[in-house]
Amino acid sequence: MLTINRKTDYAARILLHLAMQPPGTTVTVQEAAQARLVPYPLARRLFSLLANAGFLKTHRGKGGGFSLARSPAEISLLEVVEAVEGPVALNRCTVEPQECPLVSDCPVHEEWVKARDVLRDYLGRVSFQQLAERAIQPRNHPDPRGGAQ
């Protein structure tokens, strides 16, 4: 299956969680991990990674946590994927052409490159601002007791 790995998915959940808070809010790993169903020790590592990658500011010590270091409007899904997962390569030859002895004469190579570009372009246009706005809409969980008004 051609797919991002679970850690990348978790990281996206975590950043979405941050993006949905009022600007400047500090969130603990505990809280986000529970809210987004990420195993706590893994969430620890992912928060660190996202902080080291410049997405988050850290606040150490009691009462600390993490807050966004950049505006959600300026964080794309692509950046997060590549921070956790490494490059969206589609095929190794797009990243390490020198390792494929056929590459200079391979008509498939350029299609891997173009397909990768199409995918990166799409993911690069999805911002966490958009995602957060969409999530904030009233939920579609019909209340068993009746209407939601």
Partner DNA sequence: TATAATGATACCATTTTGGTATCATTATAC
Partner DNA sequence: GTATAATGATACCAAAATGGTATCATTATA
| Amino acid residing at 43 | A
CA triplet 120, 14, 91: central angle to 5 degrees? 25
Q: Which of residues 8-47 bind its own copies (CB under 8 A)?
A: 9, 12-13, 16, 36-37
The residue range among 15-23, 27-35, 93-101, 125-133 that interacts with DNA, by the rule CB under 7 A, is: 27-35
Minimum CB distance to its own copies, residue 5 (Å): 9
Select from its own copies, DNA, none the partner in contact with residue 72, using the beta carbon and a kind-dependent cut-off of 5 to 8 Å: none
101 binds DNA (CB under 7 A): no
Cβ atoms 104, 98 nearer than 8 A? no
Cα 18 from chain centroid (whole Å): 11
Ramachandran angles phi, psi of 105, nearest 5°: -125, 25
Longest dimension (CA), the chain: 66
77 binds its own copies (CB under 8 A): yes
63 binds DNA (CB under 7 A): yes
Distances (CA, A) of 90 to 4, 62, 111, 113, 121: 11, 43, 10, 8, 13
93 binds its own copies (CB under 8 A): yes
**Which residues in this chain contact its own copies in the complex, by CB under 8 A?**
1-4, 6, 9, 12-13, 16, 36-37, 77, 81, 85-93, 95, 101-102, 104-108, 111, 114-115, 118-119, 122-123, 126, 130-132, 134-135, 139-141
